[in-house]
Amino acid sequence: MNNVLPTKRTLGVCFTPGGQAEVLVWAPKADLVEVSLNDGNTIVPLKKQDYGYWHVITDQIQPGDTYKFRLNEDQEYPDPASLLQPQSVHGPSQAIDVAKFKWTDDQWNNLPLEDYVLYELHTGTFTPDGTFAGLEEKLDYLKELGVNAIEIMPVAQFPGDRNWGYDGVFPFAVQDSYGGPKALQHLVDVCHQKGLAVVLDVVYNHLGPEGNYLGVYGHYFTDKYNTPWGPAINFDDAWCDGVRRYFAENLLMWFRDFHIDAVRMDAVHAIKDFSPVHILREMKQQVNQLMQETGRTHYMIVELDLNDTRFINPLEEQGFGMDAQWVDEFHHALRVTTTGENTGYYADFTGICDLAKAYRDAYVYDGQFSPHRNKHFGIKAEKNPGQQFIVFTQNHDQVGNRMLGERLGELVSFEMQKLAAGAVILSPFLPMLWMGEEYSEPNRFQYFVSHTDPDLAEAVRKGRKEEFAAFHAQGEAPDPMAQETFQNSKLQWDLVQQGAHQVMFKFYQTLLRLRRELPALKHLNRQNVEVEEKEAQKTLVLRRWHEDQQVAILMNFSAAPQKVTLPVSTKSWQILLDSAAPEWNGPQTSAATVSGGEELSLQPESLVVYVA
């Protein structure tokens, strides 16, 4: 890769061990580039280098100084590789020396990927104050729950202080209203002290509209492809070398300078790249080099809507080498099974038969015709291990992209929530929880932004209304610009210890403990999985085993009691968990001991776990 060093950051303002500032900016569109320091009182000219780069080493910039780049002795703009925007996206950048942070996590070296239990959260709505410091105060709670990896929605600087994070326009800058870069470093350090891995959501397929100044510097975008967000990021057109370097260096920065354990890369199917070496593959090669040099382990997880194993196959098999992917199809099959929804992309899913296929094959569509897409879709994922697939009952997209932002708990019964949780947590894949689901948080998670451009704000309002045409939703979408929409999306922490919310929390704790302690559930060998579904009865029996231990997970998604037969076994089956037991606010408990091949009556919308 063009001049990318895994061992150090080079773009933007960096500080040498001797305290000098080394400035490097890619601005092939400019004829003259200067640093304008402290409201323009000091001007430092840069020297032109090859391939559109401008560079200077100077004593005139100190950590804490604010600056912009002046192009062609005319307009001034923030640094494309800014680490902090203390006055939001239109203000000056602030010079930061991230290497000065005193880490205490020398003994930490990530968790094995197959042990990950993920918890997705949005920093702004997770706690009352919506900051990294506030998040730190909840880490012991997450440990008590039984998760071991927090997945933080994007923190790249966005306009204002309310945003999901996918409108970021400074990929290197940590959102100022969350606490900025040093607060993020502190959070990661504390997570590692507590044995928690940190996954950061990064967006390399588009940038937000407001405060996006990259185009004035260089050819960051191309009209060669269209994306849902406008022109694509230029990964393979003329001048793409500088763009590829920019995003590769961003990824390496999170791993190296912020000790992030894994990234979740947003919608990589929208990254358009027909280069001989795809940008994801090139990034993976760079990360491998970084890991070799530091001895630390990092994972690359992708959101992928293609059912294409090329993304997750190893480099040596000519894959892109991504470590894992989100599997929306498992969610869709489970959602249709639990709710009966059949509009939009849910129209492709029939319910329990597709859920059974997801357990067996990871992808539901692996070559058959997709009515929603009007084409044959997907490829089989036979050789990919269970830890390459991340499954969930809900996430920020599947909740927040509903018109009203309803969580699953508002759409199904208390009993069905428990069943859905077990279906995910006891699967042969990596489970991910969405913040608040573990205690059945009733507050909706809605779409919110804080754009300062009135025309853009109105366009977002209009776009939200048009987005739901396929779902035939009724009523009005909440105003994304309203402070109230953001406030209504915050978690209500006082509920965790109350009534049915406390019961749900303890139920999730128990599920996660079983997954952690039982070898048949802990080991994600997809060969040791058997599924038997009955479509008319809406029942599913999932059998998993490891060495001499077997676990049977019996699920009844119907609204009536149903008969199911336990798998044949030389040993009797002992009950471990019954979601219908009185301790979980259910009607009655199933038999404590059952012989193999024996028939059992399952309560409506319930899940029972047996071990043999």
Both tokens of residue 540? Answer: 């599913």
- Pick the catalytic residue from 303, 323, 354, 437: 303
- Mind giving me the DSSP string for 27-91? -TT-S-EEEEETTTTEEEE-EE-GGGEEEEEESS--TT-EEEEEETTS-EE--TT-S--TTTTTS
Instruction: Give long-range contacts, CB 8 A cutoff, 24+ apart: 288-295.
Output: 288/315, 288/321, 289/6, 290/6, 290/7, 290/252, 290/255, 290/256, 293/6, 293/7, 294/256, 295/109
Q: Is the dihedral of CA 150, 155, 161, 163 positive or negative?
A: negative
Is 259 annotated to bind a ligand? Reply is no
CA 364/CA 593 separation, integer angstroms: 34
Both tokens of residue 245? Answer: 């370097």
Q: Is the Cβ–Cβ distance between 50 and 237 less than 8 Å? A: no
CA 43/CA 24 separation, integer angstroms: 15
Is there a catalytic annotation at residue 266? yes
Is 176 annotated to bind a ligand? Reply is no
Is 399 annotated to bind a ligand? Reply is yes
Is 397 annotated to bind a ligand? Reply is yes
What is the rounded end-to-end Cα distance, in angstroms, of the chain? 53
Q: Is the Cβ–Cβ distance between 201 and 165 less than 8 Å? A: yes
> Which residue has 């001048």 as its token pair?
239
Bridge-based pairing of strands 324-326 and 299-303 is parallel
Both tokens of residue 506? Answer: 């303890």
Is 330 annotated to bind a ligand? Reply is yes
CA 35/CA 41 separation, integer angstroms: 10
Is 265 annotated to bind a ligand? Reply is yes
β-pair partners for 69: 35, 77
CA 544/CA 551 separation, integer angstroms: 5
- Three-state DSSP class for residue 149: strand
Is 400 annotated to bind a ligand? Reply is yes
Task: Write b or e for each residue in 526-561: b if 16 or more Cβ atoms lie within 10 A of its Cβ, otherwise e.
Answer: bebbebebbeebbbbbbbbbbeeebbbbbbbbbeee
Helices then strands (H, E): number in the chain?
16, 31
Is there a catalytic annotation at residue 341? no
Tell me the backbone φ, ψ of residue 109, rounded to 5 degrees: -145, 55
Is 574 annotated to bind a ligand? Reply is no
CA distances to 41, 535, 574, 612 from 532, rounded to whole Å, are 73, 10, 20, 18
CA 279/CA 322 separation, integer angstroms: 12
| Contacts of 101 by beta carbon, 8 Å cutoff, 6+ apart | 182, 185, 186, 189
In this structure, the dihedral spanned by the alpha carbons of residues 290, 293, 294 and 300, taken in order and rounded to 10 degrees, is 20
Is 35 annotated to bind a ligand? Reply is no
Q: ∠ CA 116-103-2 to the nearest 5 degrees? A: 80
CA 269/CA 224 separation, integer angstroms: 16
CA 356/CA 329 separation, integer angstroms: 12
Is 266 annotated to bind a ligand? Reply is yes
Is 331 annotated to bind a ligand? Reply is yes
- Pick the catalytic residue from 201, 210, 266, 415: 266
| Residues noted as catalytic | 266, 303
Binding residues for substrate: 264-269, 328-332, 396-401
